[in-house]
A and B are shown apart, each in its own frame.
Chain A
Amino acid sequence: MSLMDKTALEIGAMIKNKEISAVEAAKESLNAIKETESKVNAFVTVLGDDQVIKDAEDVQAKIESGEINSPLAGVPVAIKDNMCTEGVLTTCSSKILSNFNPTFSSDAVLRLKNAGAIMVGKANMDEFAMGSTTETSYYGATKNPWDLERVPGGSSGGSCAAVAASEVPYALGSDTGGSIRQPASFCGVTGIKPTYGTVSRYGLIAYGSSLDQIGPIAKDISDCATILETISGHDIKDSTSILRDDYNFTSALVDDVKGFKIGIPKAYYGEGLDPEVKEQVMKVAKTLEEKGAIIEEFDLDLVDYAIPAYYVIACAEASSNLERFDGVKYGYRTAEYEGLHNMYKKTRSEGFGAEVKRRIMLGSFVLSSGYYDAYYLKALRTKALIKKAFDEAFAQYDMILAPAAPTVAPKLGDSLSDPIKMYLGDIYTISVNLCGLPGVSIPAGLTSSGLPVGAQLIGNVFEEKKLIQAAYSYERTLDWSLPSI
């Protein structure tokens, strides 16, 4: 068994107990990447051995001097390539940022660094986090470690595949409409999308600013709670950051769900849901019930409106957020051009991929004069109504149990040809982003064909701890191991 098969907390404990050093852990991760990467392609950038080893030596010294005392100290990590990392290529998996080296690191990355995390590379993703398969990356698709013919999901597909392939014990992802929870489900790993405002967005290259959140991806909920505790916190550099009363997420790692009222929204289990996925998620419900939770079906309103509202809002924000990529200041610029507007046009035509262009066009359209009220404002009103429906649900229930995705991981190439179908696959995850809610995706067994299914726990704002507690309790009952490649 490789060291990288262990959890982040296990590796951290071994380093703390001097069973191994941070340098050895870093080397193990680099070796795992060297062995696996050609099959999985989870990374856009793997840092040089020298750099990683030097960082690990520095951290090891700080662990020994007592300067760093985090359970994650010395543990290798992959960072999704839409988070700025000072001096390290940050591409958003796009050609347009193919030469972009940020001058600063994102807040979440800095918090990890301060805890002694060792960054080994930047994880592949759908271009600018737009997609559900990691196939829209300019740097090639990431493959699902469970079946290399299949997609890992997206957009944090590189982060999830790197964990599932035991290249790193944990990774950071970002979630705008399910981009942590859906690939976590496809890859059989655990991920948390925190309440909006919990993790600073400073340094996260924006897709949909009002929806984006950074979150942890790891092998189990204990790791995820620890990572979330490390990266969360109020940040004055992000005006949408919230000062919360309690960031002590690990205190919820308790095996007890007695009295938890868990709602099952009927609309999430109807048409379009793969029966095998349904079966696995219902098994989770049964397990939680056996452990003392109260499970009830209920009617969640407006489910059908979430996808159109989400795509209007996300694309509107994206069309504006991506305007800064113009070839003027940084990033790719077309080789030949005549005048300013030709430079803009060629740079952006050549620099962005098809899915990004589609969403920029969609977003520009819904914001344009004469359509703003009909689309954008209507989507905002819909969002408010959906939020109301969830508020009503949380007046009844401690949390909602849902699938993370309607299917298991599709075959490579199956999704991109039909973008509408791909968008519909986000049905169970996007409401969480529209309403700023926390959501956790946990492995929920395998289908008959041996592919992982993810179950999603959705909570009210600021109630991650309930989700973590339920996930931890369920995890105690699960016999789970990641595939070997």
Chain B
Amino acid sequence: MSKEYETVIGLEVHVELATKTKIFCGCSTAFGGAPNTHTCPVCTGMPGSLPVLNKQVVEYAIGVGLATNCSITQYCKFDRKNYFYPDNPQNYQISQLYLPICRNGHVDIEVDGVKKSVGIHEIHMEEDAGKLVHDEWENTSLVDFNRSGVPLIEIVSEPDMRSADEVIAYLEKLRLIIQYLGASDCKLNEGSMRADVNLSIREVGASEFGTRTEMKNLNSFKAIARAIEAEKVRQIDIIESGKEVVQETRRWNDDKEYSYAMRSKEDAQDYRYFPEPDLVPISISDEWIAKIKDAQPEFRDEKKVRYKEEYDLPDYDIDIITNSKHLADIFEETISITNKPKEVSNWLMGDTMKLLKSEEKSVEDISFSPKNLARLIDIIDEGKINRTMAKEVFEQIFKEDVDPDKYIEEHDMGMVSDDGALKSTIEEIVANNPQSVADYKGGKTKAMGFLVGQTMKAMKGKADPASVNKILKEILDSL
């Protein structure tokens, strides 16, 4: 390669909002459900039905806009995007073109210690389509409208990113902001967050943009990174061989690590956008915006600073805990019951992560109650259970959200605090292991460990190791 190239990337990110009901009707947005059970005349496009806007969608969109430094379009409208496809029951999608709800925002990202601002061109609200199911056995296609009318926002960035790392940092940033707002769970693999990548190549220093392609079907951060790398190489190859990049939409196949052209600019559809006459314009007052702003949560960047100042946690812990609103919530709720931030963090960093990994779950799947973790930490502090036992109890809290007091009692796991019982057990162990005693007396201190182990075994782990050591030493030394 003789010339140096720069990759220019802009993103269109669709986010499914976490409303209970759809954007234009009262149907449930719950995932799953038998086909066409979460439907009504509105979301199946029956003649005569009319849309009614779900206010919560507007609130979420404004919330995301404010958190990404956008200006809010206080007089905004919906438009119809017309195209024929069977998953789209009206054959038009209600979306926003002319007056999107948010404009001109930005988010700050950091890659390898370098900070950068990524511009947000606009955020608009729209409805999702249904799902086509192709039954090859019957050679027919079926349509499920359960997803039809699920609210989406589309976040359109400026072409400000230059690498896959920046793209991922941007997406992570959006994900965290939106999750913190509770506006969506933002799961790429489940499709509640979808990113289309617009990418072009130009020579370093060039002022004009190159011809861009749009890449679709990117279902994970890894797929996005691979697709960006592959598309960059593909476009450079084209330019290097003296040809021109064609403006087109491409579909990424992550298994084959290859993309193919879906449609070129020439067969791009004319969507014939026009203002949706069935909906009235939305008027967003200063008061409404202020109310939404006031209700916004503490975002990650603010949390990080506070965790350092208030709890003095290691940066590593802070990074992981604040990387999920859910995890941060669990952390904060637990320390509100038992004010031991480092202890709580240790349980989350250590055993929780280990158990998540072994069960192939994500932090968002954590379902135990903070009060049970808090209680477990207190029980340990009260000396009622040793750490080994505590790990066992925690596993049950993690899996079944058990009440630790009850569980310990039911399984007779409490520590034996009766020194008399402990002493007689140790005397028995000493009597039964003359060789070890002899070794110890002969200077082999390792033998002590064996005897402690035997005692713990006999006590079924319910003894405090410190007490065992102390009493055993007293007995051995008295022999």
Contacts and interface: CB of A to CB of B under 8 A. Distances in A.
A203 B80 CA distance: 20
B272 A367 contact: yes
B280 A239 contact: yes
B44 A240 contact: no
Contact of A364 (B46, B143, B272, B280): B272
B48 A323 contact: no
A391 interface: no
Secondary structure of the A contact surface, majority rule: loop
A324 B47 contact: yes
A421 interface: no
B41 A103 contact: yes
A429 B80 CA distance: 28
A376 B90 CA distance: 21
Contacts of B48: 83-84, 102, 104, 106, 202-206
Contact of B47 (A84, A209, A320, A369): A84
A127 B322 CA distance: 61
A323 B92 contact: yes
Contacts of A210: 277
B52 A324 contact: no
B355 to A, nearest CB: 47
Interface in A71-113: 83-84, 90, 92, 97, 100, 102-104, 106
A344 B52 CA distance: 28
A18 interface: no
Contacts of A106: 48
Interface stretch (A25-33, A49-57, A325-333): A325-333
A367 B280 contact: no
A478 interface: no
Contact of A320 (B52, B82, B86): B82
B302 interface: no
Nearest to A326: B91
B360 interface: no
B299 interface: no
Given A320-B82, A324-B90, A201 B47 contact: no
Contact of A330 (B46, B53, B277): B46
B52 A239 contact: yes
Contacts of A328: 86, 89, 143
A368 B269 CA distance: 10
B339 interface: no
Given A103-B46, A203-B48, A320-B80, A240 B89 contact: no
Range class of the A interface residue count: 35 or more
A237 B50 contact: yes
A329 B41 contact: no
B50 A104 contact: no
Interface string B71-105: 00000000010101010011110000000000000
Nearest to B41: A104
Best-buried of A90, A204, A329 by chain B (most CB within 10 Å) = A329
Interface in B268-323: 270, 272-274, 277-280
Contacts of B274: 316-317, 320, 367, 372, 376
B278 A209 contact: yes
A381 to B, nearest CB: 13
A376 B80 CA distance: 14
Given A104-B41, A209-B278, A320-B82, A368 B47 contact: no
B89 A324 contact: yes
A238 interface: yes
B217 to A, nearest CB: 20
Given A320-B272, A344-B84, A368-B272, A209 B277 contact: yes
Interface string A54-72: 0000000000000000000
Interface string B37-71: 00001001111111111000000000000000000
Contacts of B47: 84, 90, 92, 97, 100, 102, 205, 324-325, 330
A148 interface: no
Contact of A202 (B49, B89, B90): B49
Range class of the B interface residue count: 20 to 34
B83 to A, nearest CB: 9
Interface in A258-313: none
Contacts of B270: 368-369
Best-buried of A206, A210, A324, A372 by chain B (most CB within 10 Å) = A324
A236 interface: yes
Nearest to B80: A320
A209 B270 CA distance: 22
Interface string A176-210: 00000000000000000000000001111110111
A103 B47 CA distance: 10
A102 B46 contact: yes
Contacts of A240: 277-280
B50 A238 contact: yes
A208 B280 CA distance: 15
A16 B237 CA distance: 87
A335 interface: no
Best-buried of B49, B51, B82, B273 by chain A (most CB within 10 Å) = B49
Given A239-B278, A240-B278, A323 B84 contact: yes
A374 interface: no
B126 to A, nearest CB: 15
B467 to A, nearest CB: 71
Nearest to A345: B84
Contact of A329 (B44, B273, B279): B44
Interface string A206-221: 1011100000000000
A97 to B, nearest CB: 7
B279 A239 contact: yes
Nearest to B52: A239
A240 B279 CA distance: 7
A83 B47 CA distance: 9
Best-buried of B45, B47, B91, B92 by chain A (most CB within 10 Å) = B47
A205 B47 CA distance: 5
A340 interface: yes
Contacts of A97: 47
Given A102-B46, A204-B48, A369-B270, A323 B278 contact: no
Interface in B241-291: 270, 272-274, 277-280
Contacts of B277: 208-210, 240, 317
A295 B46 CA distance: 48
A341 B141 CA distance: 14
A236 B272 contact: no
A204 B278 CA distance: 12
A102 B48 CA distance: 9
A84 B46 CA distance: 10
A239 B45 contact: no
Interface string B128-145: 000000000000000100
A390 to B, nearest CB: 20
B281 to A, nearest CB: 10
Nearest to A348: B84
A206 B52 CA distance: 16
A368 to B, nearest CB: 5
Contacts of B273: 367, 372
A206 B279 CA distance: 13
A74 B280 CA distance: 37
Nearest to B83: A323
B426 to A, nearest CB: 78
Nearest to A325: B47
Contacts of A344: 84
Nearest to B91: A323
Best-buried of B49, B82, B92, B277 by chain A (most CB within 10 Å) = B277
Given A239-B50, A323-B84, 11 more contacts: A103-B41, A201-B50, A205-B48, A237-B52, A240-B279, A317-B277, A320-B80, A320-B272, A367-B273, A368-B272, A372-B273
12 contacts: A97-B47, A237-B50, A239-B278, A240-B279, A323-B84, A323-B90, A324-B89, A324-B90, A326-B84, A328-B143, A330-B46, A344-B84
The 9 A-B pairs with the shortest beta carbon distances in the complex, nearest first, are A323-B91, A209-B277, A367-B272, A210-B277, A203-B48, A84-B48, A205-B47, A369-B270, A324-B90
